[in-house]
């Protein structure tokens, strides 16, 4: 008589599997939970190191901007129209600078969120990784360091600010810029002038290499604005600050912020206030915002609201920038931006 086999009921199979899963969970629960916690915690970034990297990225991008302009190989194209109706230019200077800056930062800190005005990420994949040696000038002036979670950091890069002026060979307005925001607040700003080699940088709470001017004219301020809509801004500020208010048209948001300061490179207009009354992208303004904030200045929307450098690149509510002036009073003097939008 053949021996009888052991048969398990379906219910027994289920119970056996559940017991097996329980044993596995018990053995590996600690490992799994630790890995999940590590993933949630994320990596940290040393802001002093990121400042040095930002300066190097702006300089490397600036070399490409200068090389393309001097070789006269711009290959100019149009990306469409700005909200003021001007043609939005794209050149090889924009693209090559973007590739240098974007890949340098991403190759060094691949876990960081990096937003650039340009989106062509091809080429220059072999850009050397930052060697993590902080240059002596930055080490000397920034003696303190600060670690922040990588997930809280957003990097904004503008590979070529003032592209329209770049195509017109108005080199004084052209900059490359890098900004680091932590939880939406700008903390590191770098503005590099490719054609003079001057670089302004600052980190909130840690200093910088640029300073405010000794005095500003609050009673009859000179206002620097975009060349593309200088007439509109003159009308906008005339009723608030007086019809005799001097309006200085200039290209590039980076240049306009430097015009409020006292950079060592003296080839700048001197303005007391910077106003932009229409839509503007965050990569245009973040670096200047960080530098002003580090020096005790302000950059807000025309309504006086702080600009959040997370999420969408669009800043729809214009901007007002000042330093060593009563910023709140300036906001109150300006016409309502909502009324201006309806014109």
Structure tokens at 221: 């301020």
Burial 79-115 (b: 16+ CB within 10 A, else e): eeebeeeeeebbbbbbbbbbbbbbbbbbebbeebebb
284 is in an annotated binding site: yes
124 is in an annotated binding site: no
Cα separation of 227 and 251, whole Å? 6
Structure tokens at 64: 């490409």
Structure tokens at 21: 């899963």
**In degrees rounded to 5, what are phi and psi of residue 258?**
-65, -30
160 is in an annotated binding site: yes
Q: CA quadruple 227, 84, 168, 195: dihedral positive or negative?
A: positive
Cα separation of 6 and 12, whole Å? 12
The residue among 153, 198, 158, 192 whose CA lies nearest residue 175 is: 192
DSSP string computed for 155-181: EEEEEEE-HHHHHTT-GGG-EEEEEEE
Cα separation of 116 and 13, whole Å? 56
Structure tokens at 175: 């900059």
With a CB cutoff of 8 Å and minimum separation 6, the contacts of 3 are none
The residue among 334, 232, 333 whose CA lies nearest residue 279 is: 232
94 is in an annotated binding site: no
**In degrees rounded to 5, what are phi and psi of residue 199?**
-130, 125
Q: Are 167 and 278 in contact (CB under 8 A)?
A: no
Q: How far is CA 9 from CA 20, 36, 238, in A?
A: 17, 37, 89
161 is in an annotated binding site: yes
Report the binding-site residues: 117, 158, 160-161, 284
Report the binding-site residues for Mg(2+): 117, 158, 160-161, 284
């Amino acid at each position: 008589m053949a021996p009888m086999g052991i048969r398990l009921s379906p219910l027994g199979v289920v119970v056996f599997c559940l017991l097996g899963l329980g044993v596995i969970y018990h053995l590996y629960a600690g490992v799994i939970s630790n890995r999940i916690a590590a993933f949630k915690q994320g990596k940290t970034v040393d802001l002093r190191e990121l400042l040095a990297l930002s300066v190097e990225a702006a300089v490397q991008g600036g070399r490409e901007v200068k090389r393309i302009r001097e070789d006269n190989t711009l290959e100019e194209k149009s990306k469409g129209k700005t909200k003021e109706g001007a043609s939005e230019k794209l050149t090889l200077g924009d693209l090559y600078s973007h590739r240098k800056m974007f890949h340098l930062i991403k190759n060094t800190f691949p876990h960081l969120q990096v937003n650039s005005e340009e989106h062509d990420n091809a080429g220059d994949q072999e850009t050397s990784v930052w060697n993590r040696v902080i240059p002596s000038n930055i080490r000397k002036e920034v003696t303190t360091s600060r670690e922040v979670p990588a997930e809280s950091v957003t990097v904004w890069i503008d590979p070529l600010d003032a592209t329209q002026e770049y195509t017109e060979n108005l080199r004084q307005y052209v900059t490359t810029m890098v900004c680091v925001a932590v939880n939406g607040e700008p903390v590191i700003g770098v503005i590099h002038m490719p054609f003079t080699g001057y670089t302004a940088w600052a980190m909130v709470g840690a200093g910088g290499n640029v300073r405010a001017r000794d005095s500003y004219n609050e009673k009859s301020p000179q206002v620097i604005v975009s060349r593309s809509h200088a007439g509109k801004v003159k009308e906008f500020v005339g009723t608030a600050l007086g019809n005799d208010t001097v309006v200085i048209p200039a290209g590039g948001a980076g240049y306009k912020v430097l015009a409020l300061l006292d950079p060592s490179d003296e080839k700048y207009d001197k303005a007391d206030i910077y106003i932009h009354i229409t839509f503007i992208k965050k990569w245009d303004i973040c670096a200047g915002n960080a530098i002003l904030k580090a020096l005790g200045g302000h950059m807000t929307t025309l309504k006086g609201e702080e600009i959040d450098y997370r999420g969408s690149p669009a800043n729809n509510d214009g901007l007002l920038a000042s330093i060593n002036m009563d910023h709140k009073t300036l906001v109150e003097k300006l016409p309502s931006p909502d009324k201006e939008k309806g014109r």
